[in-house]
Amino acid sequence: MHLFSPRALLEALESRTLLAGDPNAGYALPLSLDFNRSKPGLLDRDGSGTGFTWAQPNRNGDEYQPRLIDLKIGAGILRLYTTGNADEGSNLDADNTLVNALTTTFAASSRPWVISARLTGPPTQINQPHEEGGIIFGPDQDDYVKLVLSAEGGKIGLQFFDEQKFKTGIKHSLPQTVYSIGSFSAISTIDLYLGGDPTTGYVNAFYRINGGNVVQLPPTLILKGDKRTVFFSGAAYGGVMAQSKNNAGGIDVTFDQFGIKRGVLTATGGGGGGSGQISTAGQRVFNDVRGGTGGQTIGVAVRNTGTGALTISSGGLSISGADASMFSASTTDPLPQTIQPGQSLSLKLTFTAPSSASLGIHSA
């Protein structure tokens, strides 16, 4: 028979919480960490405060390892080292051993926000499978979204990736695509951004190389139901991470700023993610009796045949033509809506002929 003390178990859990930081500690926005001085929070190898308040828990209970964190105050940088641990991924769904996913809590439930970090380069050390570095948003290693410099599937570039745990198992809503952003050797700095909107459940990814244009990656993550509540909570988690899982040894990833602020980020230039292209099935023919209420409604699909995301804003549907006032358009779900490449959005088109309408053909 094995006996245990509930008090001893509680003390052990409290000790782990203290070692990994405080899951409830966070900042009022805007938050800006430039790593040029010690701040409260998790400590690095020399005892300097990083400003991050919580290390995302992992399966092994060793999620916080100060010896692999180096805050260089004179240079204003934070360096994360990793020696082979990895979070979950497409081929690592039982792992959950990522260390030093340094985060802090913030209120993500009320207004749109942007998580950002600047990585210094050239980041050429990221060149083997499962090597990554970037930003992360989410409560734990079963539920997260990340935007990282990545080497996966024989490609090197940016990966915008999510993981969500349900009763039926682990699911990934975003494609496991590594987007080419050119040679890593040409990158002096790269800014990474995750923008979230709690009213829609949308999370979008952006990047900027060497202070150039802000470019949006094609996919949009749409968090729904309970997952929207969990991610977009009043005490959400955002931060930085680095990982490596291969036989070539560890890597280090260097950050020279991190921040979270309110607002909506938009792209300032093209490239990287392609562009959306509208395609419809052509003409639709209606028939309606003059006067009365209602009218005839026909469904039509708008398809994105382009290579980038196509976003329809809240005021993005309009009808033009000689008899536009007799027609209306609506969507099943409220706008805005984002259509990914190859996907479609269903519209309802209605023709209602007023009593004053002349007999004959009316078009819009």
pLDDT, tens digit, 9 for 90 and up, residues 99-142: 999 999 999 998 999 999 999 989 999 998 889 999 999 999 89
pLDDT at 275: 59
CA 207 to chain centre: 12
Check residue 89 and give its pLDDT.
44
Give the amino acid at 28: A
Residue 68 · residue 83 · CB < 8 Å: yes
- Per DSSP, the residues of 326-341 read GEEEEESSPSPEEE-T
Q: From residue 38, how far is each of 58, 71, 107 by CA, in Å?
A: 26, 8, 24
pLDDT value for 137: 98
- Per-residue pLDDT band for 326 (boundaries 50, 70, 90) equals confident
Q: If you average pLDDT over residues 177-197, what whole number do you get?
A: 93
Q: How many CB atoms lie within 10 A of CB 310?
A: 23
Rounded Cα gap, residues 258 and 251, in angstroms: 20
Position 316: which residue type? G
The model's pLDDT over 281-295, given as tens digits with 9 standing for 90+, comes to: 667 888 888 887 778
Range among 12-26, 112-126, 283-297, 313-327 rated most confident: 112-126
Q: How confident is the model at residue 309 (pLDDT cuts 50, 70, 90)?
A: low
Is the model's pLDDT at 310 over the cut of 50?
Answer: yes
What SS3 string covers 11-62? HHHHHHHHHCECCCCECCCCEEECCCCCECCCECCCCCEECCCEECCCCCCC
Nearest to 174 by CA among 313, 343, 303: 343
Does the pLDDT of residue 192 top 50, yes or no? yes
Distance CA 282, CA 304 (A): 14
Does residue 159 carry a pLDDT above 80?
yes
The confidence score (pLDDT) of residue 331 equals 82
How many CB atoms lie under 10 A from the CB of residue 168?
Answer: 6
Q: Is the pLDDT of residue 196 over 60?
A: yes
If you count them, how many residues does the chain have? 364
Inform me whether the pLDDT recorded for 209 exceeds 60: yes
Region 207-211: what's the mean pLDDT? 93
What is the rounded distance in angstroms from the CA atom of residue 163 to the CA atom of residue 362?
50
pLDDT of residue 27: 87
| Calpha distance 56→96 (Å, rounded) | 10
For residue 54, the Cα-to-chain-centroid distance in whole angstroms is 19
Residue 308 has pLDDT above 70, yes or no: no
Average pLDDT over residues 20-46: 90
Query: What average pLDDT score do residues 40-51 get?
Result: 96
Q: Is the pLDDT of residue 322 over 90?
A: no
Average pLDDT, the chain: 84
* pLDDT band, residue 86 (cuts 50/70/90): low
Task: Assess whether pLDDT exceeds 50 at residue 17.
Answer: no
How much is the average pLDDT of 80-106? Answer: 73
Q: Which residues contact 26 (CB under 8 A, 6 or more apart)?
A: 53, 104, 105, 106, 107, 235
Report the pLDDT averaged over residues 267-284.
Answer: 64
The two most distant CA atoms of the chain are separated, in Å, by 91
Q: Which of 281, 269, 340, 335 is nearest to 306 (CA)?
A: 340
User: Picking from 143-152, 171-180, 295-304, which range would have the lowest pLDDT averaged per residue?
Assistant: 295-304
Mean pLDDT of all residues in 31-41: 95
Binning the chain into helix, strand and coil, the percentages to the nearest 5 are 10, 40, 50
Q: Check: CB of residue 80 under 8 Å from CB of residue 65.
A: no
**pLDDT grade for 48, boundaries at 50, 70 and 90:** very high
* Position 18 pLDDT exceeds 70: no
Higher pLDDT pick, 14 / 69: 69
Burial of 207 (0-12, 13-18, 19+ CB in 10 A): buried
Core vs surface per residue 138-154: b (16+ CB within 10 A) or e: bbbbbbbbbbbbbbbee
Q: Which residues, in sequence order, are CB contacts of 203 under 8 Å at separation 6+?
A: 137, 145, 162, 194, 195, 196, 197, 220, 221, 223, 231
Residue 10's H or E segment, with its range, is helix 6-19
